[in-house]
Amino acid sequence: MTVSNVASEQFVGQAEETFYLNGSGSVTTEPETLKKIPGNKAVWVGIFAELSEFAVFFIAYFIAKAHNPIEFEQGPLALNTLAGTLNTFALITSSYFVAKSLAAIRVNDPQKSIRCLSYAVCCGALYLLIKFWEYHWNVDHGIHADTNSFFSMYYYMTFNHLIHVSWATLSLLWAISQIKVGNYTQQRHVGLTAIACYWHMVDLAWVIIFPLLYVLR
């Protein structure tokens, strides 16, 4: 065996070690990673349905923008960009904690997993509070759903997304309860993985909504 082959094998071994998920075996021996998709099929049916729904919203947005270019050019200037930015930060931060929670349960650290999920719930609650405050701010500044086509799209898209964030936040609370009673463990946490996937989908939708409504002119 040549020196290059030995070095290659050592590199492969080191690379495999960096992908250990449960602290005792490689990624290929992690029970849930042997499946083709994370979580379960049901949640991915739901995710596909939700993404299809948002895709319809985005198509409607561009159609309305094509017919009302001036309204869609001036509309973002009237919105509270700070509120939208803070909500973006809240959701991205929450996704970080959801990912950390899943990583913690995989290394058999349920307390850290619960703690990270709790932080994610706080971020979700912060998003909801900011959004309701933003709606109140809009009303005070004369921005209503029937003001023009842009604001109709704004309210329809953001309120629909708000509902999804509410559902996702409740699902995080459910995951916390399941970890506490021992239903989600190092060996069995498909449900937590599914919830994490749904949460990231909700986050992804907002990452698209934010520039469309608050940034693009």
- For residues 161-184, give the mean pLDDT: 95
DSSP secondary structure letters along 151-210 = HHHHHHHHHHHHHHHHHHHHHHHHHHHHHHTTSS-SS--HHHHHHHHHHHHHHHHHHHHH
Q: Tell me: do 136 and 162 sit in the same domain.
A: yes
- 141 by DSSP, 3-state: which? coil
The rounded distance, in Å, linking the Cα atoms of 150 and 6 is 63
Torsion of CA 210, 213, 216, 217, to 10 degrees: -170
Q: Tell me: do 96 and 194 sit in the same domain.
A: yes
Domain of residue 52, CATH code: 1.20.120.80
Where in the sequence is the domain holding 14, given as residue range(s)? Answer: 1-34
Q: Tell me: do 88 and 5 sit in the same domain.
A: no
Q: What is the pLDDT of residues 116-169, one digit of tens each?
A: 999 999 999 999 999 999 999 999 999 999 999 999 999 999 999 999 999 999
Q: Tell me: do 82 and 66 sit in the same domain.
A: yes
The reported pLDDT for the residue numbered 42 is: 81
Structure tokens at 142: 């004369």
Question: How large a percentage of the chain has pLDDT more than 90?
Answer: 71
Q: Which of 180, 162, 79 is nearest to 124 (CA)?
A: 162
The reported pLDDT for the residue numbered 217 is: 72
Q: Tell me: do 44 and 65 sit in the same domain.
A: yes
Q: Tell me: do 3 and 57 sit in the same domain.
A: no
Q: What is the identity of the amino acid at 84?
A: G
Buried b (16+ CB within 10 A) or exposed e, 175-197: bbebbeeeebebeebebbbbbbb
The reported pLDDT for the residue numbered 32 is: 52
Looking at the structure of the chain, the number of domains it has is: 2
